[in-house]
Structures are given as structure tokens and as C-alpha cells.
């Protein structure tokens, strides 16, 4: 389950899944860029036939010494010049002119970054789709499972777990639509030293187009060496995915609390969720680790947004600050998404406990409904205040809301005036009678999810018009 090539102490937690942004991945992406450039140059007729294949042949990361490249990078502030030397040595003499021709270091690193981002997004979008499907199943299955809605961590009015899941679903689907949009904008970088491609004379733009085609990346209007809006858009979409997953995980940790116990992480692995000290512990590991990933996204996003103030034709530091930061953001988003698939695939829902917790509030969450019955007679504000008083009394005495209302002289009078008796009161304080459009909203979310699966992501309800 670890990322390819990742086997560190924390990689199972923060590097889970298939996102590949390790040193070997960087190196291969840079080599893929150099190879594609050689092929593009050949297609453009700028280098002899066969040179593209020769460079491509030599461009295998496993043949290069990462440590040596890393150590040479201190001379120039990035690893590309050393890589170009090493690659040149590995190609036949006649193909050397095709190596890095027209390019500057930033062309190679930026394009490699786009390739890494594309690969990561594919992984993340796949995981988000799986998470969304599982969430849709939860929403459908629990469209009628009544539970307490909670605002500011207090019981509010009843909802269904299906509606809660529908909310998660919409946000996951939106996040992957965003990533899809961003992916389409990932563009090749190729401008030469200062964006003019001067060393290719007038052939530059043609090579840009060919290079983009070789790599399957978008062709930009101009080199974007110091126009980093793409990086911000990419980072924001990743941070958005993290925010969405963090919200789901936060909800799970809250609903899984010992005293709430409405959901539980369901993995059956031995020792899963255990503590080094406490034998009884069954910690919600997936949720906790998701939060451990997602809480880091905003800081990384801020770094990338800050770094975007880049000077003239190549930034002194701002560009360099992006490399590891973006890789971390890709890795952490990927890890959170991978954990989310597990979390949502094995989440156990305790519908009985949901109802028990709601019933323990003895009608209070339906106070709004009672107030509405009194509003036509008393006016909304007075009705609100009267029911509020009775609700306070009910809480203090531990009695049911209808009893508190009927025991209060002025409330009783108002109820009588409004023609509301005990039967009506008890009906009004039954949770299943106060779910509003929950079921409709769940259906709307499921419909939107199906449209999304059909390639029509959207955030408005599909009206049958």
C-alpha cells in the first residue's frame, strides 16, 4: 500500500497509495522530458533522424546516480546541468546535439513537475471516485436512518445519516471535478533561457507544440517561467481535496467518540486502532491519519502562493521553494485519498445508537417545529421565546419537551389558543416527522453523482425542465 519506492518510517501514514513523487520519480520525469524534447526536435527536423530514439533509450533513471546528481546540484542550484552532462555522456556522439537543445533548467524541472502532478492527479481522482461511490452507497442505504443533526457540536434538529453522507459525496465529487479541470491545464514548459527560445531561432514555437504532443501536456501560449498561476490552481485543487477529506474525517472522529458511538471504523485487522499503552483502545486510525495529512495542506498552499511572486525571467528562490513543497502536497493529498477509500469502504453505522442519542434529548431537537405551530398565533419571535423557555425547563428537569410545555401556564394557554394538544405536540416532537426535504436532497445528490460518473460534473441540481 506504500507509494512505489517509498518505505520510510512515516510513509505508511503520510505516503500511502500510488502517488509517486520520490527522487526516482523526479529523475525519471526529468529524463522523460529530455527524451521527449529530443524526439520533438527530431520531428521538427532540427536534429538527425534517430537521435530522439537514442536519447530516449538512454533516459532511464535507473542508470543514473541520484546521490551524485544531488551533490553536483550545489554548483548550479538545481540538478539539471549535472543531469544534462550525465545524459550527454550516455548517448552516442551524433545524438548529443539533441540533448537539452533549446532548453533551460527550468524547462526540464517545471515540465517534470507537471508530469508528476498529472500522475498524482490520476491516482487521486481514482481514489476519490472510489470514495465517492462508497459514500453514495452509504447515502442511499441510510436515506431513512434518523440521527441528530449537530450544530456547534450541540444537537440541533434531526437529519438522516443519508443526508450527512450526501453532503460528503457532493464535496468529494466537486473536489475531483476540480482536479480534473486542473489536470487539463497542466502545460509543458519550454522557453529556453528567458522565454524566447532564441537558440532555436524561429523554430521554437513548433518545438513547443511537438513537445506538448509528445508528453500529452497542454501547449501554453507563452513560457510560464515566472507566471505561476498554474501552480496555485493546482495547489488549490489539492488543498481543496484535502479540506473535503479532512471534513469527512473530522465528522467520523466526532461520531465515533465513545459517548456518541454512532459510527466506527470497520477494518478488522488485528491490533488495528490499538494503543501502545491501553489494551482496550480502538482508535479511528484512518480518520486520524487523514487529518494528519490534510492539516498540512493549507500551510503548503500558502508557501506556493507566496512563492508565486517571481522576479523577471526566473525567480531567485521562489521557484526553488516550490519543488519539495508541491511534491509534499501531492503526496499528502494522495495519502489522504487512499486512506479515505479504506475509511469509507469499511465504515460501520449504528442506526440504533443514532436513534438512542436523539431520543435522549426528549423532543428538544424538535423545539423549532413546536415554535412553528405557535408562530401564526403568537408571532415568530414570541413563539420562539416561549418554546425556548420551556426547552430550558425541560433540560433542567430532565423531562420531555411536550411535558414541559404543558406544565407551563403561559405555554399551555398559547398551545390551547393555537389548538395544539398533547397529541399534536407528541407528533410534532417525533424526529421522523421533522426531516423536511432530507430524502429529496439525498436523491438530488445521488443524481448529481451519477451525472458526474457520466462525465457531467456539476454543482446545480438537475431539474427536469
Hey, what's the torsion of the CAs at 423, 424, 429, 432, to 10 degrees? Answer: 100
Which residues face 218 on adjacent strands?
A: 187
Tell me the closest approach of the beta carbon of residue 172 to a second copy, in angstroms: 10
**Closer to a second copy by Cβ: residue 196 or 410:** 196
Distance, CA of 87 to CA of 333 (rounded, Å) = 33
Residue pair 128/120 in contact (Cβ under 8 Å)? The answer is: no
- Residues near 430 by beta carbon (within 8 Å), at least 6 away in sequence: 366
**Rounded (10°) angle between helices 105-141 and 229-255:** 30
Nearest distance from residue 173's CB to a second copy, in Å? 9
Whether 460 is catalytic: no
- Measured at the CA of 203, the angle between CA 201 and CA 208, to 5 degrees, comes to 120
The continuous run of DSSP H or E covering 93 comes out as none
Residue pair 158/435 in contact by the 8 Å Cβ criterion: yes
Q: What is the dihedral of CA 233, 239, 242, 243, to 10 degrees?
A: -110
Q: 154-160 and 263-264: which strand pairing? A: unpaired
Spatial CA neighbour of 368 closest among 350, 352, 390, 348? 390
Our CB check for a second copy shows the closer of 130 and 182 to be 182
**From 250, 314, 444, 451, active-site residue:** 314
Name residues whose C-beta falls within 8 Å of residue 327's C-beta, 6 or more positions apart in sequence.
21, 26, 116
- CA nearest 221: which of 256, 255, 193, 195? 195
Taking the complex as a whole, the smallest distance from the CB of residue 345 to a second copy amounts, in Å, to 15
Taking a C-beta distance cutoff of 8 angstroms, is the pair 117, 111 a contact?
Answer: no
**Max alpha carbon distance in the chain (Å)?**
101
CA–CA distance, 126 with 121 (Å, rounded to integer): 8
Q: Give me the phi and psi of 136, to 5 degrees please.
A: -60, -40
CA separation for the pair 88, 82 (Å, rounded):
10
Q: Is 388 a catalytic residue?
A: no
CA 278 to each of CA 268, 275, 289, 397: distance values in angstroms, whole numbers, following the listed order? 18, 5, 19, 37
> In the block, which residue shows the cell 443526508?
163
For the chain, what is the radius of gyration of the CA atoms?
Answer: 29
Instruction: Tell me the three cell numbers of residue 307.
Output: 512563492
Least distance CB 423 / a second copy (angstroms): 19
* Distance from the Cα of residue 280 to its chain's centroid: 32
By annotation, the residues acting in catalysis are 275, 314
Amino acid at each position: 500500500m506504500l507509494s512505489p519506492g517509498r518505505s520510510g518510517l512515516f510513509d505508511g501514514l503520510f505516503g500511502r497509495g500510488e502517488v509517486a513523487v520520490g527522487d526516482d520519480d523526479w529523475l525519471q520525469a526529468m529524463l522523460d522530458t529530455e527524451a521527449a524534447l529530443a524526439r520533438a526536435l527530431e520531428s521538427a527536423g532540427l536534429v538527425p533522424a534517430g537521435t530522439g530514439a537514442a536519447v530516449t533509450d538512454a533516459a532511464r533513471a535507473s542508470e543514473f546516480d541520484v546521490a551524485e546528481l544531488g551533490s553536483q546540484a550545489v554548483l548550479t542550484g538545481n540538478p539539471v546541468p549535472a543531469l544534462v552532462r550525465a545524459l550527454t555522456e550516455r548517448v552516442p556522439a551524433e545524438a548529443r546535439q539533441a540533448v537539452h537543445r533549446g532548453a533551460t533548467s527550468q524547462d526540464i524541472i517545471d515540465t517534470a513537475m507537471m508530469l508528476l502532478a498529472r500522475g498524482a492527479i490520476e491516482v487521486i481522482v481514482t481514489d476519490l471516485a472510489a470514495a465517492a461511490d462508497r459514500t453514495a452507497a452509504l447515502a442511499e442505504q441510510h436515506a431513512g436512518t434518523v440521527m441528530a443533526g449537530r450544530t456547534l457540536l450541540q444537537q440541533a434538529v434531526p437529519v438522516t445519516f443519508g443526508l450527512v453522507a450526501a453532503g460528503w459525496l457532493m464535496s468529494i465529487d466537486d473536489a475531483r471535478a476540480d482536479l480534473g479541470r486542473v489536470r487539463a491545464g497542466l502545460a509543458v514548459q519550454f522557453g529556453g533561457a528567458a522565454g524566447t527560445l532564441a537558440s532555436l531561432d524561429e523554430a521554437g514555437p513548433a518545438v513547443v507544440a511537438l513537445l506538448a504532443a509528445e508528453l500529452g501536456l497542454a501547449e501554453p501560449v507563452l513560457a510560464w517561467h515566472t507566471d505561476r498561476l498554474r501552480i496555485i490552481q493546482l495547489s488549490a485543487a489539492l488543498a481543496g481535496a484535502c479540506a473535503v477529506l479532512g471534513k469527512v474525517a473530522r465528522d467520523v472522529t466526532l461520531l465515533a467518540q465513545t459517548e456518541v458511538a454512532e459510527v466506527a471504523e470497520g477494518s478488522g485487522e488485528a491490533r488495528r486502532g490499538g494503543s501502545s499503552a491501553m489494551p482496550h483502545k480502538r482508535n479511528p486510525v484512518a480518520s486520524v491519519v487523514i487529518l494528519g495529512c490534510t492539516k498540512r495542506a493549507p500551510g503548503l498552499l500558502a508557501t506556493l502562493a507566496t512563492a508565486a511572486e517571481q522576479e523577471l525571467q526566473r525567480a531567485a528562490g521562489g521557484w526553488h521553494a516550490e519543488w519539495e513543497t508541491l511534491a509534499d502536497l501531492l503526496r499528502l493529498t494522495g495519502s489522504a485519498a487512499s486512506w479515505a477509500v479504506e475509511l469509507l469502504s469499511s465504515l460501520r453505522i449504528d442506526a440504533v445508537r443514532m436513534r438512542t442519542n436523539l431520543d435522549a434529548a426528549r423532543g428538544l431537537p424538535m423545539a423549532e417545529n413546536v415554535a412553528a405551530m405557535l408562530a401564526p398565533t403568537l408571532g415568530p419571535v414570541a413563539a420562539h421565546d416561549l418554546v425556548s423557555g420551556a426547552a430550558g425547563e425541560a433540560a433542567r428537569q430532565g423531562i420531555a419537551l411536550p411535558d414541559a410545555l404543558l406544565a407551563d401556564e403561559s405555554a399551555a394557554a398559547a398551545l390551547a389558543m393555537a389548538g395544539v394538544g398533547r397529541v399534536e405536540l407528541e407528533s410534532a416532537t417525533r424526529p421522523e416527522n421533522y426531516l423536511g426535504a432530507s430524502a429529496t436532497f439525498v436523491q438530488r445528490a445521488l443524481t448529481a453523482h451519477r451525472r458526474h460518473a457520466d462525465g457531467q460534473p456539476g454543482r446545480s441540481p438537475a431539474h427536469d425542465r
